[in-house]
Structure 1
Amino acid sequence: MKATIRYKGYEVAPSAQALPNGLYAANLTIGTLGIQSGTPSSNASNVSNASNARPSQKIVSFDALDYFFDERHALAYACRWARMWIDEQRRCA
């Protein structure tokens, strides 16, 4: 399951990957566009596809942040983790 959200100028694409053991891995892709690049695309695939990235776009991916028995819990954790990561990046900038 995948969902895409926007948070403080970032495109956040959390995902939950089903594993053979019945658990779900919480994965996350975060992308940002520079001010010069204009408005970000509404197409969520541009966030996770680096070949479509504009020159000023930064993309970071995190695989298997943690494991969960429920897919919704994995997605919620990835979303919460993204917000904390983005807030920390903005605090340190």
Structure 2
Amino acid sequence: MYAANLTIGPLAATPAPSQTVATSGTQASQPETLRSALVSFDALDYFFDERHALAYACRWARMWIDEQRRCA
């Protein structure tokens, strides 16, 4: 069976290699900031087909994001 897992976070979770500039303290704090912005849901439900699990996770993500926008 396939679990419908979901991780929601910012689009720019990892900077492009051309954008990484070594500055004191900036690069060390960035990954921690991005990690705290991630929201993870494990095993929303289980499916016999991988495509069904993926479709359910995508649908669930859209509903969760819409709900967060309504409450904000």
Query: Could you tell me the TM-score, scaled by structure 2's length?
Result: 0.67
Return the letter of the residue paired with 1:90. R
Which structure has more RCO (C-alpha within 8 Å, separation ≥ 6)? 2
Partners of 1:64 and 1:55 lie apart in 2 by 25
Gaps of 5+ in 1: 1-22, 34-39, 44-51
For the pair 1:55 / 2:33, whether they are aligned, the reply is yes
Q: What percentage of aligned pairs have identical amino acids? A: 75
**Using a 3 Å threshold, how does the CA distance of structure 1 residues 42 and 67 change in structure 2: closer, same or farther?**
farther
Q: Which residue is 2:2 aligned to? A: 24
Please report the RMSD computed on the Cα atoms of aligned residues, expressed in angstroms. Answer: 2.3
Q: Which residue is 2:71 aligned to? A: 92
Query: Could you tell me the TM-score, scaled by structure 1's length?
Result: 0.53
Q: Which has the larger radius of gyration?
A: 2
Gaps of 5+ in 2: 17-29
Which has the larger helix fraction?
2
